[in-house]
Each structure stands twice: as structure tokens, then as C-alpha cells.
A = this chain, B = another copy of it.
Amino acid sequence: MQTKFSPARPVRAEDVPHVDLEADVVIVGFGAAGACAAIEAARAGAQVVVFEAAAAAGGSAALSGGEVYVGGSGGTEVQRAAGFEDSTEDLFKYLMMAGGPGADEARVRLYAENAAAHFRWLQEQGVPYKGSYLPGKWLEPMTDDTLVWSGSETAWPFSAAAKPAPRGHTAMMPGAGAGKVMMERLVDKAVSLGAIAHYNSRALALIVEADGRVGGLVVRIDGRPHYVRARRGVILCAGGFISNREMVGRYAPAALSCTMEVSAGNDDGSGIRMGIGVGAAAIHMDQFFTTLPFFPPESLVKGIFINERGSRFINEDAYHGRVSQYILRQPGRRAWLLVDNPIFARPEFFPDIHIAAVGETWQDIEAELALPAGALTSTVAEFNRHATEGRDPYFHKNATWLRPLTEAPFAALSFCPEDFPACAFTLGGLATRPTGEVLDADGEAISGLYAAGRTACGLPRWGEGYSSGMSIGDASFFGRQAGRCAAGR
């Protein structure tokens, strides 16, 4: 009997010695995608079993801020209450731009048209939203408020393409980490609808029928392989691959420098590898979210980032993850945030930031950073000259965040690799239809196999365009589609 399994190698149905378990829909992973898939599949009348590698449900979503990126259809009730109309077309345009050159129009269209309804659905599942709007620039609300600006909506070039609206919707919980509340409710709902959850249960390999159809799964429970038959389909919701350094090196080497994994620990890429093993295409595997959380407080957004040439490289009011993508690409990832006295602060999420230089003049700062003479000072002078006029002709920073940096003392906060670790999670994954059907390299569906969440390549597929709430928005919305599609097969 087979005792060693590899996610990359499916087990042939004829080699399955016996069936330990059988269900209509078998889901791997009980995070945001898996929970929403389970809810919809159970509602559609399917018998649902979920295998979760961890000792408890929630996945990486439960450790996150729990933001969901939704809007359109004139606005969610929260957006409208706060005075924001949000057309489907503006949401569509923003998401297309955020998806980058490889954006999937059909997927974006489906999401944009149904995102506001999806928010109501989340409420109906019991996820609590206070309904209040929190202005300003935040990574996630530290209050129990619902609605925040969570992307690059008001920042160039996004602001020029789509009318801005805040779209980050967060469950009610004071402090960071409202993903916990959201996941508790979604998991409870899935279980109450009859989904059977197995914890400490690691998926080892898919089972493939003679005709190529995925017919089940081998799972390790209590230290031994269990053979699970899936009558209607297997849905892979096993997360991304940021915790698998070897995969990161092969697929997204630019993320190797990010040492802080945004993961509950099981983003080992096994879901993606199981898909690849049965001939699925994995796409946009080089793309990842990254952040060096330089604000709040938002006063720091009024500073300017420079590289070792003393040059600016981004409008600093863009989404922090976008700014961080640019920081990572500077020579040697050497970058500093220049601030003057009125805006100086320590970033809340990284108060131990290294202050690389302090001085009474910008010449002092330039010398202390050992930059070429004139490099930094000319950049600051040019920035100040334009900021005084309320404009930024080079990088198009929004006037809200423009003020000249003229009040000593001055400082340079270090975002160099040795001083400021970068966080990351992966965006690439299995190619799927909006229904969750996993696609082979010629774009044909692999029968019986579905994927959602970061195991799939979804809405967020371009690091420069990521906005908070896109990953869970995508995982929950397309998890639902996969659950429905698999149940109805």
C-alpha cells in the first residue's frame, strides 16, 4: 500500500485501495474561500466535507484585518450612508487597472456587478458590520468602524481612471485583526448548514480517474492516509505559497527579500502543487503583495521617499503596498522617508524604525546618508518649490498630502533591508474560470477540480495594483462561485 504521497503526483483511482470517506463536495482548507465555498455548496444541497491542515478553522484570513473590497451598484449601504456613490463602472475600471496588464475582464466584470450584493450576503451570514465610516489613511481600522479607504483610489494614476470611493469594509471589532470575527461567523454558518469539518487533516494528493477527472483526495488524518471520494468535485482553498521558500525562489524570486510572511503558517503551496500535478496551469506566479507599513500616522504620507540617488520614485499617497513594491525595486532596496518636524512620527506598526539621519538642514541629512552632493538637496528643493504651489508635476501626489518640508529639524527614516523587514503573500495561483473551474494549459476545464482564494489566481494578480480587501473579497466571492458550481455539477 502506498505510504508516501506528493502533492505534485496524483493517485490513480485504480490504485486507491479502499474508500474511507465519501461526499459530494470535498474542500481543502477552511479559510475565507473554503468557508464560503462550503456555505454555498451546502445550501445547494450538497453533502460537504472540509479538510483543514491546522487545528482550527480560519486560515490566514482569520489573522488579517478582514477587509473586503466591495462597492459598485451605486454603493453599499455603508458607502451611501457615508455619502459615497459608487458606480459599478468605477469599481470595474479600478479593478481592471488594479489587475495590471494581465487583468481578467470576465472575472472583474462578474465581481464588479455583484460586489455590493456580496457585502449584503456576508451580513446575512452573520458577519457584523457597524456601518460607520472612518476617514483618513489607515492600514486597517483600529476602531470598530466598517468603511475605510483601503487602496490607491485617490492617488494617481488610479484617480484619473475611476471616480474614487472608499471600499474597504471591515467587520465590527475594536483593534486590529477583525478577520477573526468574520471567519468565526462564516465558519459557524458553514458548519450549521451541515458542512463536516476535519481538523489536523492534511491533503496529501488528488485522486484522478481514468478519464482525467478529479475524483477525490488522499488526506492524512491521525497519521494515516484516508481515501476520500468526491462525487461532484474537489475545491482547493489551501492558500498561497509564501511559507514555502523553495517555491518562492522558483516562482516569485523578487519576494525572497520579504522576510515577514503574511500567513497563518500553512501557505505552503500544496494546493497549487496538487493542481499542477493534474495538469493545471499556474499563472502570474511571480506576483505578490508586499508592504513596509510606513503609516499610520498619516502625517508620514506627507514625507517623500528617496533612493540612494536622492531621487523620488513614487507618489507617496498611493496604497502602502504599491509604495512598497517601488521601494523593493530601488537599487539595493535602499530607501528613506524624508520628514520635517511637524510631520515626524514613528510608524505605528513599526515604532522601532531606524532614524538614519537627523539634522538642522537638508545638507546635514544628505551628508549623513552619504549621498552624492546635491542629490537629496536638489530633490527636496524641487519638491518644496512645487509643493508650495500645491502641485507635484513629477509624481502627481494628491494636493491633500502636499506641503513643503521646511521646518527643522529634519530626519530620514530608513526603509533599507537591514532596518525594515518587508511583509508579503503571494498572488499567483491556478488558472480558473470565474466559476472556480480549474483550467489546463490550453484553457480547458479539468473536470471535477475547482480552486479559490490564493490557491487560484484571482482578482488580485498584480502587486502594484493590490488594495487591502481584494484578497478576501476575491476569496469569499469566488469561493462562493466554486461552491455553487461544484455542488451543481
Task: Tell me which residues across on chain B come within 8 A of A136, comparing CB atoms.
Answer: none
Cross-interface CB contact of A393 among B7, B281, B372, cutoff 8 Å: B372
Residue A286 at the B interface, CB < 8 A? yes
Cross-interface CB contact of A394 among B272, B279, B309, cutoff 8 Å: B309
Asked whether A9 and B212 contact (CB < 8 A) given A382-B374, A394-B372, the answer is yes
Are the CB atoms of A6 and B442 closer together than 8 Å?
yes
**Which chain B residue lies CB-closest to A396?**
B331
Q: How many identical subunits does the complex contain?
A: 2
Cross-interface CB contact of A279 among B276, B393, B442, cutoff 8 Å: B276
**Which chain B residue lies CB-closest to A157?**
B331
Cross-interface CB contact of A253 among B101, B273, B278, cutoff 8 Å: B101
A7 to B277, CA, bound (A): 16
User: A98-137, CB under 8 A of B: which get 1 and which 0?
Assistant: 0011100000000000000000000000000000000000
Cross-interface CB contact of A441 among B8, B249, B431, cutoff 8 Å: B8
Asked whether A281 and B444 contact (CB < 8 A) given A212-B9, A374-B382, the answer is no
The distance from the CB of A310 to the nearest CB of chain B, in whole angstroms, is: 8
The distance from the CB of A333 to the nearest CB of chain B, in whole angstroms, is: 12
Per the 8 Å Cβ criterion, residues 365-407 of A in contact with B are 372, 374-375, 378, 382, 393-395
Q: Counting chain B CB atoms within 10 Å of each CB, which of A102, A257, A273, A280 scores highest?
A: A102
Asked whether A394 and B378 contact (CB < 8 A) given A9-B279, A441-B273, the answer is no
Residue A180 at the B interface, CB < 8 A? no
The distance from the CB of A272 to the nearest CB of chain B, in whole angstroms, is: 7
User: A416-458, CB under 8 A of B: which get 1 and which 0?
Assistant: 0000000000000001000000001111100000000000000
Residue A61 at the B interface, CB < 8 A? no
Asked whether A279 and B278 contact (CB < 8 A) given A8-B444, A100-B253, A372-B394, the answer is yes
Asked whether A273 and B442 contact (CB < 8 A) given A279-B278, A282-B282, A309-B394, the answer is yes
Having A101-B254, A250-B284, A277-B441, one finds 12 other A-B pairs with CB under 8 Å, namely A8-B441, A12-B210, A250-B283, A251-B284, A269-B441, A276-B281, A282-B282, A283-B285, A309-B395, A311-B394, A372-B393, A378-B378
Which 6 residue pairs spanning A and B have beta carbons closest together? A101-B253, A102-B253, A8-B442, A8-B441, A273-B441, A8-B440
